[in-house]
Amino acid sequence: MPVVSAFYAALAGLLCAVLSLMVIRLRGVTRTSIGGGDDPRMARMTPVFGNFAEYAALVLVLLMLAEMLGLSRTWLHVYGAAFILGRIAHAIGLSRTLEANIGRTAGMVLTLSTIIGLAISLLVVVLPKIG
């Protein structure tokens, strides 16, 4: 059973709900139904959720496959925690400003490092078995 992946999927689900509620709340405050409208806050908050959604599914699939193929729990936790922390850092940074900042940068570094690390880990495990 992929219990480590399930743990990070649950955390990602909660983070998704929080980010979604933040966008919904701001839509009510700014009376913006679709897109960002003319409000600069909406221009920041819409991609906070969107950026999370763009990466979450891929990372969770990679994480689950890595767990199913026997990657160690230590590495699964490293990758899972890096992804969740990266998405939180990115959301905080982007929700404050559209300019480059430490939160956005750290978030993207952690997210892309997670994707690359998981992809390489999967290749290391799978390549000897497919030949």
- Determine the 3-state secondary structure of 80 from DSSP: helix
Percentage, residues of the chain above pLDDT 90 = 71
For residue 47, pLDDT over 90 is answered with no
Let me know: does 12 contact 56? Beta carbons within 8 Å: yes
Give residue 56's pLDDT: 97
Residue range 78-103, pLDDT digits in tens? 999 999 999 999 999 988 877 889 99
What CATH number was assigned to the domain covering residues 3-126?
1.20.120.550
- Looking at residue 27, its amino acid is R
The mean pLDDT of 119-129, rounded to a whole number, is 95
The domain locations on the chain are 3-126
Give residue 111's pLDDT: 97
Residue 76, token pair as written in the block:
């699964």
